[in-house]
Amino acid sequence: MKWEKLKPPEPDDPMCCCECDIDQYGCCCDCEDLDETFSRWLKDRPGKGGCQSPVLGAIIDNLEISMIPALVLLPVLLRVAALHYLLGIIILTALPGLVLWYYYATHKKKRRTLFFLTLALFSLFYMYYLFITEILPRGDISQLQLCTVTAGMIVTIVSLIHTKRGPGFVTSSLHEADSHSQEANKDSTHLNGSIQSAASSGTAAELQTTKEALAAKWSRCPLCKIMRPPRAGHCRTCGSCVQRLDHHCVWINSCVGQANHRSFLFTVTVFVLTSVYGISLVLCSLCPRQYLMTALLYCPGAYSQSSMALCFTCAWYSSIVTGGLLYLLVAQVLNISFNVTEREAQLALRNKTGQRRLWGLVIDTGEYSRGFYQNWVEFLTMADASMAGKWYLVGFATNAQWFVSRRASMKVGTAMMTPTADGDLDMSYASLNSDGTCWRLNNLAKRTDTPGRFTYTSERWGNVNDMSMVDVKYDEYALTHTIKTKDSAPTVVNKLYGRGVSLGPDVLEKFRQFSLETGVLPENIAFLPANAECPAA
């Protein structure tokens, strides 16, 4: 049987009642709401005999309390394992099996648990305690090595605290998202009709087209009932949608998403390096005559003293934990290199839309990958989630009347985007006029509850602006859609920014198609000619 059939369901992996084989009342449907109702009915309906005994169900439901003594018993179990190597083999084999079983039991029930986080922290501090009390007095550890191990542990804890601050939850409400979308669609249709009255007969079609264009990058969560940005997913364990959801990590009792993915990777990396270095120091102290690579398998005299046997057993325990985290680290690095999240990989496997690469270690969906270098650049800058830096205004499209007379004189301008500490966006525009003077405009766009959406009032023009980031690749281009309202008369403005003065034909065509779908006439879509830049203000 394949591993995909045995593993617990991943976050945002909706239960399809067509595939449900745990109940005799399975049925087929296409409605996700009916799937949710069916799943809830199965959970609330009293179970029939033969599925699970009441005693086992009670144990699993109350396992959170009953597993607390296991943390106290962990030192006892390690000391028992240190009595004889056969006991060590039995206990060190049984412990990972019990942990995996508990993981399956809690993850299958979509329950949050502090057990794994507590176990990880307790193991970390206990191993450090033994290192100080048992290995350091032997005199084989220098002050520099002690400081290195201590610094690694401190950095791991600090990084873990930073990771726990949050994965980046999607907090926008359905009412706000729907109101914004409907307002944008109605405004676009109204504006198109005001410029060209003959287009009024196509209002319904334009409304539908505009709605599809604006919603192409966003989706509605069937559980949270909110609009969420691309690559966001719903974690059923946390009960919320997370931006660029990777997976729910039981070891930190939180999701890994856009806001904490980098710190999560850093935490795992520092822990693995510190653990490997600490294990090597312990083995060199216990087995100075053995090669480091073979000391774990053959260390004469390791069981001659109880303290040595305990340290040797803990080295084995640490190696098992480090091996599991090393596998996680390798999987994360490969996923980042192919620009795919763990959630996207699992969905691609289920839908049979991905390809296995590197002997099955990574699932390549081919949807977001833009090459090894660009994938890592995107990952290392994604947590900023902003348009920080310098941009060039390459494309401009609007259905405003003033654009007809001004289009011929418009050229490429520059824009400096500076995110504030509150999540707002300070926008500074500059364009060099033909007479050598510089035209400048500054606005502070206030963030909203909807990610990628900002509002601001122009002090120069007195209009209210509702700006949305439609499509952004922070190292290449950004496409924005703005509805400007003044005296109850709205206009649509689409802008195409680039990190350079020239963009690829596919990006230009994407901008042109989007502008047409949002009610802008073909003659009102302009790709601006090159221009000299204004001097620094």
What residues are annotated to the active site?
249
Grouping H, G, I as helix, E, B as strand and the rest as coil, residue 526 is strand
Grouping H, G, I as helix, E, B as strand and the rest as coil, residue 496 is strand
Q: Which residues pair with 467 in a beta bridge?
A: 454, 482
CA distance 359 to 112: 33
Burial of 128 (0-12, 13-18, 19+ CB in 10 A): middle
CA distance 190 to 207: 9
What lies within 8 Å, CB to CB, of 29 at 6+ separation is 17, 18, 35, 38
Phi, psi at 165, each rounded to 5°:
-65, -25
- Nearest Cα to 131, choosing from 276, 275, 278? 278
Residue 283 Cα distances to 14, 132, 278, 289, 467, angstroms: 47, 15, 9, 10, 60
Which helix (DSSP H) or strand (DSSP E) does residue 128 occupy? Answer: helix 115-130
Contact 105, 250 (CB under 8 A): no
Residue 249 Cα distances to 105, 107, 141, 238, 328, angstroms: 15, 10, 34, 11, 11
Contact 397, 520 (CB under 8 A): yes
Contact 135, 311 (CB under 8 A): yes
Written as one letter, the residue type at 28 is C
CA distance 17 to 35: 6
Contact 500, 392 (CB under 8 A): yes
Q: Which residues pair with 235 in a beta bridge?
A: 240
